[in-house]
Amino acid sequence: MAPLPPATNVVGLDVGITSFVVTSDGQAVDNPKHLYRYHYQLRKVQRSVSRKKKGGNNRRKAALKLARLHLKVRNTRKDFHHKLTTQFIRENQAIVVERLQVQHMVKNHKLAKSISDAGWYQFVQMLEYKSRWYGREFQKVVPNYTSQDCWVCGWRNTDLQLSDREWTCANGHTLDRDVNAAINIRNKGVGHTLSAWESDTDGVQYNGNGRVAQESHSL
């Protein structure tokens, strides 16, 4: 794959359930909830399979219909991931994401289905290999305290609850929880990502806000 022309942005991505992903630029992408959209169809066909006699042709037909419906859900999710990752790759020179521990997250039974449906692991995999294909930088960082630490001053909110979508730090900075996390994710990875590609990008300089600005050179 031929590398894309250099872009002018370094972005941090915070994945979630309410919003599928929030960027350090403040963009929130809605979670399509693919499995939920097909929930009633899946349940109806599953019941049909259960009512059919085991070993019979009718049961096999119903099971095939169920398998095709599950495949449709997977393909719809995959298409969403492909389109979104391509957008991020085109718009950004460097992408920083949190190092996900999905296997631990799904132990929370209340969130397990939503986490599995979101398909974060597949999304991150696509970002990683497309970054290699198109000459972008990609970095995973440990997400410790990214939601709790104020990105402006570093004050840590040890009382932050999952239900707190917006909060104000002790120094008066009002923060959107997810945007704050995305900015902290970006800032954790920015030193690594910039050092990897800045020497190959003539005349650009990071300005501290996730963007690189063209420098003017006098002869």
- 200 catalytic? Reply is no
- Catalytic site residue from 14, 25, 117, 137: 14
How many C-beta atoms surround the C-beta of residue 27 within 10 A?
A: 16
- 128 catalytic? Reply is no
Would you say 34 and 17 are in contact if contact means Cβ atoms under 8 Å apart?
no
Joined together, the tokens standing for residue 76 give 């719809």
Q: Compute the C-alpha angle 85/86/91, nearest 5°.
A: 100
- Catalytic site residue from 98, 117, 137, 149: 98
- Catalytic site residue from 25, 137, 149, 178: 178
- 30 catalytic? Reply is no
Length of the chain, please? 219
Residue 216 Cα distances to 152, 203, 208, angstroms: 29, 8, 18
Joined together, the tokens standing for residue 50 give 């259960």
DSSP of 145-195: TTTTB-TTT--B-TT--TT--EEE-TTS-EEEHHHHHHHHHHHHHHHHHHH
Q: Which residues are catalytic?
A: 14, 98, 178
